Structure 1
Amino acid sequence: MRSFRSRIAVVAAAGLVVLTGPATAAVAARPGPVDVQVLTLSDLHGYLTPQHNATDGTIKDPTGKVLVVGGAPYIATHLERLRAGRDHTLTLAAGDFFSGWPTEVAYHADEPTIEFMNKIKVDVAAVGNHELDRSLEFLRDHMGKGKCFGEIGVDSCFTDSDGQPFRGADFPFSTANIVRKGQERPVLPPYVIKRFGRVAVGVINLTTVTTVEGSTSYQPGLDNLPLVETAGKYAAELKRRGVEAIVANVHEGGYAGPEFDGCANLTGPIADFAARATPDIDAIVTGHWHWGFNCALPDPAGDLRPVVEPANHGRLINELNLKIDPRTRDVIRSATTSANHAVTRDVPPDPDMTELVEYWLAKGAESYARPVGALTGDVTRVRDADGESTLGNLAADVAHADSHRTPGGAADLAMVAVAPVKGSNSLRADLKFAKGANPADADGTVLFGEAWAAWGYANPVLTVSVTGAQIEQALEQQWQTQPNGTVRFAPLAVSGNVRFSYDLSKPVGDRVLPADVLIGGVPLDPTRGYRLAALAYTLIGADGYTAFAGFTDAVRGSRDYEAFRDYLARGPLTPPALDRAIAKQL
């Protein structure tokens, strides 16, 4: 590594962070450093269409002025301008380009995002937690290699904006620390080496350790290796291969104040990583937390290196400029610069990207209008006095049915949060029998877009082992005493094979008796084990029910969206009766 470790300072000017050190004669005499530009985007989440709301389409500059930013046509233009006149450029994606909420992308298996990433010439993509929202096989074989699944043009392999069939990514997906359970070898390549004439840059890609047991990416067959140790292992391997210039592309984030091109007391997991990760790593680019910052922090040897995050949804692009000594093949950190650039819309939009966005918007409208099922009556979120709703009961039935379609599933019962204490509610919209405004709709018809909007947020149905005592506790947690002393009712829907009664005259925590909970007509046994189907979000406690902590033997089923559509496709659906929860009469 470098010999200049003393009197290192940070010079901040015009939003540019410069890592400076003493200019020794040896450094000055080195012939012709090789300039390598590293451009990074993170957490795009499929936001290709320019956004206009306060969250997704703006960012504040250091003066507090609100800048309108983002959108594929503007990202492409800014990248082209940043690359202009540069001989050597490396473009990174720092994870979570997938599983966004724009329906024109989500309806089409995130394929529009791959088309965009190919067109902007991404060189390597770190695996974020959301890249694993479906499965490793989906990421590797479909996104990476273009392998089709389901019905072509309906489920996958849509025709792109150039009229070409989906072919997968032109770049590699990489993670050094996601492995199969019980193994040490990563499921994808751990790093990528990019050569620029006489020098090379190694990019080690790392994924947040919250991935495997995260809400949407819950993958029971995978495991996370620790970030710092894994980064050190592969940095040493790169050095053995003669690569001295090393960048860590880490899908893990932090917060460093409100200024997107500044740095004020970096906190969060990435701060720990930056403080401990091997000095062999010359720069750290990050994502995941959706913040923008541009820091220069000391590595364990005391030398400064960039630690940066370019926000989310295409609002910022980070630019690192590395000068690499062709003799040592290492980064001259004293000459390293870094800046976060706002993706403003005061530049001409790229015409090809404008066409891409317009194409997928039109395709989204077409997909929305595809019929996927039928109803005999309204299915709504309206709750009765017992907390039941037809949509809640239907969602529980869907989860139960999906479990029985999943190898290793076969749940005894299912539960779905109807009005959770905190977090997101998976019940999002009513399904009405009467036709809506869409010309493709008809009385009793459920359109693809209507089903998508009614239940779910890309969360998987898990089947897990719990005890009867945990099921009883979960039913008790439908009533939760708040800090002000009031009791909040947070009902849980149960599948159609379950009936239970409760007594509001009893204190909170003692309103449900095991004998009053019938599963398939048999009273609940607190001492025996049960297989329970529920959304991962609920099981990990994200919506306020702690009863399921410590569940075991998790099996992942379908995502809520797909499970719901599969259930609707079975035939005309009659709204479920509201007869599963009964209050005891005083």
Structure 2
Amino acid sequence: MRRTAAVLSAALIAGLVPAAAHAAPPPVPVQLVSITDFHGYLRPPTPADGGTIAGPDGATQVVGGAAYLATHLNEIRAGKKNSIFFTDGDNFSGWPFEVDVHADEPTIEVLNALGVEFSSVGNHELDVSRSFLVDHMEKGKCFGKVGVDSCFTDSTGRRFHGADFDFQSANIVDAKGKTIVAPYTIRMVKDRGRTYPIGFIGLTVPDTPVGSTSYQPDLKALDQVESANRAAAELTKRGVKAIVLNMHDGGTDASATYDNCVNPTGPAFDVARQVTPDIDAIVTGHWHAAFNCSIPDPAGNPRPVVEAANHGRLISEINLQLDPRSGEVLRDKTTSVNHAVTRDVTPDPKIQKIVDYWAAAGDRKYAEPVATITGDFTRTPNAVGESTMADLGADVHLWTARQNGPADLGVIAAKPATGSTAVRGDLLVAASNKPGDANGRVLLGESWDAYGYGNPVLTVSLTGAQLDAVLEQQWQPQANGTVKFAPLALSSNVKYAFDASRPVGDRIDPADVKLDGVALDPVKTYRVAALAYTVIGADGYSAFKAYTNPVRNNTDHETFASYLRTHKTLTPAPLDRVTQKG
């Protein structure tokens, strides 16, 4: 009887309670797919530009190219209902000529076609201006002459309309302390008739406003951890339980492969260890590194920290599992992996068509004539380090600055103490074998190749004494006891003499420096035009860092082409701006 009663009782209970109540509903799967630091590499990058990467077994894999990227993305995302594709910044302001010369619009067309949903603001998103990012790249607003300076016709025959995605940064603010774009974005995923929000916070590398290419003196970077925590708190108040930090700052690790994590270091990992546990996953960039890490949050719970190298070489995939009741991330079920964008797949024909279109447009742009020269402009220095090409660069800097206000002289590092020079090539009278070239003709592409590396020309204030200190740093003692000569070129209105027999640091008498025929006055303030890389001391002339009152002018490639078009015919100036005493 007891057994019969027990069976009957169990049967009654089973009849009263639905079977589904006994089993918890399965988690909600969400796939996060991202790339970083694409830099406009539509075509497969060369080995020098990162076209290879060490695979899981250490063997070299050939990677990159937008059309191959599209194929891999389609394969990775296939069958995933809740898949979100985004980028971690530095999408454009890249170095490929066909992209750069078309105001980075080709990159946006490709990213639109790939289905990017949003992006953090990288430092290179601000290489031109805040308006260029917000008004032109996001909204499609034209500047200059349509079809010449911006708003080019894309591969579909339509005019550039801007990005189909938006940008976020919680820590870049204007002079009034207001973020220049939204600090975060919210995406919704659905499962079994219910909608779940996921928040994505954007962060930008803190030195962006003072970096050489992104130098923006009217902007400011706030603390990354405080900015991320503030945005996360806002999202939490809005009922968002799953939060991702999309951070354009990175780090590195000791692993030689792209899907591993060994002794990770760098600012992204410092942030990862400090930001609120409300953040469930961290996607990084900027360092062009490749790693797949798991770092404990302040509460001791692990969360993924990933970076997908650069130039479209890798894709990061994070798979989250949401609690179906609360919408929170089940951390113990999170997985992450980096995928190589190998070229052993069929390139996506839709993307390949866009890439081919812009490659052809770049070839036509390259062949456009911009000036005529009557003699060779070369980097070959004379005995005092002066060359016709470097002198031309200094003249361009002064001319550029004067388009935007007063300037007294132009300076360029002909052979910098550290780093690379913007004087990258020669302009020769003899015709090359490139289409459209002729004797004495300078093509637009040739001007791009000869000068510039994507830096703005700045106008800054230096006293005569500070300028003299800069000139003295052309001679720098080395650890082996030698003295390195790192010549600076000055604009044509400046002449000076130096005495190499004098001690380092005392080789130039200010009285021997003449601006427009007048001796340098140590207490007078001069407006000096130079590339930002030089001004911030990255070229090795630390005395430049005493500058004040910076004004940003046009960027190097664009202003050089403008200078050539304006002057039309150029003759190399005599090498008489620098003389040696004795």
TM-score interval, normalised by the smaller of the two chains: over 0.9
User: Which residue in 1 is equivalent to 2:395?
Assistant: 397
C-alpha deviation, 1:34, in angstroms: 1.7
Q: Distance in 2 between matches of 1:347 and 1:145?
A: 34
1:348 partner SS = coil
User: Which residue in 1 is equivalent to 2:220?
Assistant: 223
Q: Counterpart amino acid of 2:402?
A: H
Q: Which of 418, 424, 434 is 1:422 aligned to? A: 418
CA contact (8 A) 1:77 1:349 kept: yes
C-alpha deviation, 1:111, in angstroms: 0.9
- Equivalent residues in 2 for 1:25-424 (5 A)? 30-53=24-47, 55-181=49-175, 183-197=176-190, 198-257=195-254, 258-406=256-404, 409-424=405-420
Q: Distance in 2 between matches of 1:348 and 1:505?
A: 65
- Equivalent residues in 2 for 1:406-555 (5 A)? 406=404, 409-555=405-551
Q: Distance in 2 between matches of 1:376 and 1:301?
A: 70
CA contact (8 A) 2:127 2:213 kept: yes
CA contact (8 A) 1:465 1:532 kept: yes
Q: Counterpart amino acid of 1:190?
A: P
CA-to-aligned-CA distance 1:377-434 (integer Å, 9 cap, x gap) = 211111111211111111111101111111xx41211111001111011101111123
CA contact (8 A) 2:99 2:106 kept: yes
CA contact (8 A) 1:43 1:94 kept: yes
Q: Distance in 2 between matches of 1:373 and 1:200?
A: 56
CA contact (8 A) 1:417 1:491 kept: yes
Q: Counterpart amino acid of 1:173?
A: F
Q: Distance in 2 between matches of 1:29 and 1:37?
A: 24
Q: Counterpart amino acid of 1:279?
A: P
2:295 partner SS = strand
Q: Distance in 1 between matches of 2:355 and 2:148?
A: 19
Task: Choose 199-208 or 569-578, whichever is displaced more.
Answer: 569-578
C-alpha deviation, 1:565, in angstroms: 1.4
CA contact (8 A) 2:429 2:441 kept: yes
Q: Distance in 2 between matches of 1:299 and 1:30?
A: 27
C-alpha deviation, 1:52, in angstroms: 3.7
CA contact (8 A) 1:477 1:509 kept: yes
CA contact (8 A) 1:179 1:225 kept: yes
Give the share of equivalent positions with the same residue, in percent.
56
Task: Choose 56-65 or 217-226, whichever is displaced more.
Answer: 56-65
C-alpha deviation, 1:30, in angstroms: 4.0
Q: Per the alignment, do residues 57 and 522 of structure 1 end up closer, same or farther by CA in structure 2, a change over 3 Å counting?
A: same
Q: Counterpart amino acid of 2:44?
A: P
2:396 partner SS = helix
User: Which residue in 2 is equivalent to 1:22?
Assistant: none
2:457 partner SS = strand
Q: Counterpart amino acid of 1:538?
A: T
CA contact (8 A) 1:52 1:68 kept: no
C-alpha deviation, 1:263, in angstroms: 0.8
Q: Distance in 2 between matches of 1:346 and 1:475?
A: 53
Unmatched runs of 5 consecutive residues or more in structure 1: 1-27
CA-to-aligned-CA distance 1:210-241 (integer Å, 9 cap, x gap) = 11100100011111011000000010000111
C-alpha deviation, 1:442, in angstroms: 2.5
User: Which residue in 1 is equivalent to 2:3?
Assistant: none
2:181 partner SS = coil
Q: Distance in 1 between matches of 2:382 and 2:463?
A: 29
CA-to-aligned-CA distance 1:235-272 (integer Å, 9 cap, x gap) = 00001111110000000010122221111121010111
Q: Distance in 2 between matches of 1:472 and 1:84?
A: 63
1:419 partner SS = coil
Q: Distance in 1 between matches of 2:49 and 2:116?
A: 25
Q: Distance in 1 between matches of 2:440 and 2:365?
A: 18
Q: Distance in 2 between matches of 1:227 and 1:466?
A: 32
C-alpha deviation, 1:184, in angstroms: 2.3
1:212 partner SS = helix
2:47 partner SS = coil
Report how many aligned residue pairs link the two structures. Answer: 556
Q: Distance in 2 between matches of 1:108 and 1:557?
A: 19
User: Which residue in 1 is equivalent to 2:17?
Assistant: none
User: Which residue in 2 is equivalent to 1:17?
Assistant: none
TM-score by length of 2: 0.93
User: Which residue in 2 is equivalent to 1:557?
Assistant: 553
Q: Distance in 2 between matches of 1:472 and 1:356?
A: 52
User: Which residue in 1 is equivalent to 2:14?
Assistant: none
Q: Counterpart amino acid of 1:255?
A: T
Q: Counterpart amino acid of 1:199?
A: Y
The two structures, once aligned, show a CA RMSD in angstroms of: 1.4
User: Which residue in 2 is equivalent to 1:581?
Assistant: 578
CA-to-aligned-CA distance 1:182-232 (integer Å, 9 cap, x gap) = x22200011110011320110000000011100100011111011000000
Task: Choose 277-286 or 573-582, whichever is displaced more.
Answer: 573-582
Task: Choose 297-306 or 318-327, whichever is displaced more.
Answer: 318-327
1:384 partner SS = coil
Q: Distance in 1 between matches of 2:213 and 2:23?
A: 53
CA contact (8 A) 1:34 1:199 kept: no
TM-score by length of 1: 0.93
CA contact (8 A) 1:204 1:249 kept: yes
Q: Distance in 1 between matches of 2:158 and 2:477?
A: 57
CA-to-aligned-CA distance 1:529-552 (integer Å, 9 cap, x gap) = 221110000111111111112311
C-alpha deviation, 1:32, in angstroms: 3.5
CA contact (8 A) 2:32 2:83 kept: yes
CA contact (8 A) 2:243 2:279 kept: yes
Q: Distance in 1 between matches of 2:197 and 2:485?
A: 60
Q: Distance in 2 between matches of 1:226 and 1:490?
A: 36
Q: Per the alignment, do residues 47 and 439 of structure 1 end up closer, same or farther by CA in structure 2, a change over 3 Å counting?
A: closer
